[in-house]
């Protein structure tokens, strides 16, 4: 299994699959080998087989509680003549990703209840008026549903072939506060000839964040031109980094003190909507930008740290059609994808 992991982190996914299959033969109860196979297959867009073992995540070390003890059976993909509960069991970025399937899921039940990260509720309630949204902290207290499914388990029924993604229709999934976005735009970029570029450069994921992140000066020094104005979409305290950019490089990175980019996701959505383009590493910000249909340039590591939903090949995300995927050509080389991002920004009118 460790050999498979090493091959996967080198981007050699087909060879990794061979190692995972051998590990499964040697130790059928080794959940990590099945789980890692699923991630490899999803990376290769082998949806039908990839989803088969995606549920093994509940059996991984650290998932000591497994699935929560809910009051109805797991959804089997059939029509529910009652209320179907869909709930978020992963981080907020993954929840946003899987919520792109909500319009399709809505067709499989008479009514739909969705429990997600509380920070998403204002945005979701504006987008889907006929869905009963709840905070996931209330999950065990919810009642009145006939079947339930984790958001991460919907793909096995709703995303099994490329045409399932094409059927999404509209590029935008989420509906931001457009009036708030208009006011932010007027404040941050009053000159209509300028390009307002939202930037985010860091992932705080404990396992992969180091490989997905880059220094803000590496990003902004390359992107800075007379016609581009930058706004900070990075969550967390960025004051020292913004001051350094100004003092050392004369680069102004605007920051909205009235929006908490971590806790106020509805505000962050409006701020993203105000931008012409977003440049970001793989983190919650880029999920939100993609779900809003905002032109987004996603800076991706070569292999180690790249998540399965950014897949191995292709320039466009299947999950977020407005996202262009800019991958490192070799480990540690951020200069190439950043140069591609600059070329794309220069094309904007």
Domain boundaries of the chain, sorted by first residue: 2-59, 80-166, 178-346
Q: For residue 274, count other CB atoms closer than 10 A to its CB.
A: 24
Q: What is the pLDDT of residue 208?
A: 85
Residue 236 carries which DSSP code? S
**Which residue ranges in the chain fall short of pLDDT 70?**
63-66, 167-170
Longest C-alpha distance within the chain, in Å? 64
Could you tell me which residues come within 8 angstroms of residue 207 by beta carbon, excluding any fewer than 6 positions away?
none
Q: What is the pLDDT of residue 206?
A: 80
CATH of domain 2-59: 1.25.40.10
Contact 207, 239 (CB under 8 A): no
The CA distance from 232 to 80, in Å, is: 43
Nearest partner of 114 among 145, 76, 91, 93, judged by Cα:
145
Kindly compute the dihedral angle of the four CA atoms of residues 257, 264, 231, 174, in this order, to the nearest 10 degrees.
-150
First to last CA, the chain: 49
Tell me the three state secondary structure of residue 128.
coil
CATH 3.10.450.40, applies to 178-346: no
Question: To which residue do tokens 């079947």 refer?
Answer: 147
């Amino acid at each position: 299994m460790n050999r498979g992991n090493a091959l996967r982190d080198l981007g050699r996914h087909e060879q990794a699959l061979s190692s995972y299959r051998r590990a499964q033969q040697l130790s059928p109860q080794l959940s990590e080998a099945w789980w890692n196979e699923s991630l490899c297959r999803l990376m290769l867009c082998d949806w039908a087989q990839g989803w088969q073992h995606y549920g093994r995540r509940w059996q991984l070390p650290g998932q000591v509680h497994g699935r929560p003890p809910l009051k109805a059976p797991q959804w089997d993909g059939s029509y529910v003549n009652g209320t179907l509960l869909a709930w978020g069991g992963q981080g907020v970025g993954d929840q946003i990703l899987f919520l792109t399937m909500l319009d399709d899921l809505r067709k499989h039940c008479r009514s739909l209840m969705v429990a997600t990260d509380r920070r998403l509720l204002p945005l979701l309630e504006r987008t889907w008026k006929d869905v009963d949204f709840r905070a996931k902290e209330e999950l065990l207290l919810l009642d009145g549903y006939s079947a339930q499914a984790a958001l991460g388990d919907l793909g096995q029924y709703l995303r099994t072939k490329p045409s399932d993604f094409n059927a999404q229709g509209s590029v935008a999934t989420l509906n931001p506060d457009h009036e708030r976005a208009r006011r932010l735009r007027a404040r941050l970029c009053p000159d209509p000839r300028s390009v307002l570029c939202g930037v985010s450069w860091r992932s705080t994921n404990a396992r992969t964040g180091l490989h997905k992140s880059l220094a803000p000066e590496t990003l902004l020094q390359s992107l800075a031109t007379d016609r581009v104005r930058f706004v900070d979409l990075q969550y967390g305290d960025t004051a020292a980094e913004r001051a350094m950019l100004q003092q050392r490089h004369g680069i102004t990175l605007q920051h909205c003190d009235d929006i908490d980019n971590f806790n106020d996701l509805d505000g962050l959505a409006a701020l993203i909507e105000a931008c012409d383009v977003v440049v970001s590493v793989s983190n919650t910000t880029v999920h939100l930008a993609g779900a809003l249909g905002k032109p987004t340039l996603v800076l991706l590591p070569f292999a180690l740290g790249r998540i399965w939903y950014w897949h191995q090949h292709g320039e466009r995300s299947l999950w977020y059609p407005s996202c262009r995927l800019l991958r490192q050509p070799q480990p540690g080389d951020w200069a190439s994808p950043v140069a591609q991002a600059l070329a794309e920004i220069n094309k904007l009118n």
